[in-house]
Amino acid sequence: MNQHITVKELPESEKPYEKCLRFGAEHLSDAELLAVIIRTGTTGKKSIELAQEILNRKEKSLLNLYSLSVKELKGIPGIGKVKAVQLKCLAEITKRLTKATRAREVSLNSASSVAAYYMEELRHENKEKLIVSMYDSQCVLLGDEVISVGTVNASLISPREVFLCALAKQAVHIILLHNHPSGAPQPSMQDRLVTRRIAEGGALLGIQLSDHIIIGDNQYFSFKEEHLLHSP
C-alpha cells in the first residue's frame, strides 16, 4: 500500500482498518467498528453499509447486537450464519468484559455496586432471570447461580434451590437479583412474596438475605435501600 495515501483516498471497505491503525479504535464510529468485525460485504454492498443496516434495526444503536437474534441478523442480506454468530459472540464478550471490570468494586453493603456488576448481564434479557449472588462472612463475593428463567413467581421459585447453592458455596449472605424485561424495576406483589419466602428460609439456616435487587434498563430497585427488607 502506498504509505502516503490519506484515509479519504482509501476505498470505503479499507477505511476502518486504516483509521484504526493510524488513530486507534476509539476513533472509529459504531458502524466502522462493526465493519471491522464483519470484514467483507456482499455484492453491491460494502461491509460498512451492512454495519449501518444492523445499527438501523430495532434499537437504532449497538444495542442491536443484544436484541437481534441470530435468525434476525441472518435476515439482513449479506449477513450469513457465520457473521451472525460472530456478532452475537461479540455482544457476549462485551457483557463479560463489563462484568469482569466491575468485580472488584462489588460490595455487599452497596446496592449500586452489586446492580452495576449485574447490569449488563441482565438488562438485555427478554425473559426474567433470577440469580442468587453469594458472599462469605467478610462480605466477599463467592460466586452466583441462575436459579430460574421465566416469570419470577413465588409459587414456582423453590427456596431449596437457592439455599442448596448457598450452602455449597458456604455463603453467609446472599442477594437475590432478577430483571424486568419491561425496563421498569419497580417490584410486583410476586417479587415481594419471593423476597419474604427467601428471607424466612435464610433465617432458619443462618444465611442472611441481604438484599433483593431488580434490574431494569440502566436502573435498579433495591429492597434494602427502600427499607422493604424486614427480618422474619
The tens digit of pLDDT for each residue in 100-136 reads 777 777 888 899 999 999 998 898 888 899 999 999 9
Please answer whether residues 114 and 220 qualify as being in contact, where contact means their C-beta atoms are separated by less than 8 angstroms. Answer: no
Q: In this model, does residue 99 exceed pLDDT 80? A: no
Burial state string for 13-29 with b = 16 or more CB within 10 A and e = fewer than 16: eebbebbbeeeeeeebe
Q: In this model, does residue 175 exceed pLDDT 80? A: yes
Q: What angle do CA 189, 194, 195 make, to 5 degrees?
A: 95
pLDDT score at 122:
92
Q: How far apart are CA 181 and CA 185, in angstroms?
A: 9
pLDDT score at 41:
67
Which grid cell sits at 224?
434494602
Please answer whether residues 92 and 205 qualify as being in contact, where contact means their C-beta atoms are separated by less than 8 angstroms. Answer: no
Which grid cell sits at 55?
445499527
Q: How far apart are CA 172 and CA 159, in angstroms?
A: 15
Residue of higher predicted confidence among 197 and 39 = 197
**How far is CA 167 from each of CA 63, 95, 164, 175, rounded to the nearest angstrom?**
37, 28, 5, 14
Q: In this model, does residue 138 exceed pLDDT 50? A: yes
* For the chain, percent of residues with pLDDT exceeding 90: 44
Please answer whether residues 221 and 214 qualify as being in contact, where contact means their C-beta atoms are separated by less than 8 angstroms. Answer: yes
pLDDT score at 21:
87
Please answer whether residues 124 and 151 qualify as being in contact, where contact means their C-beta atoms are separated by less than 8 angstroms. Answer: no
Burial state string for 56-90 with b = 16 or more CB within 10 A and e = fewer than 16: ebeeeebbbbbebeeeebbebebbeeebbeebbee
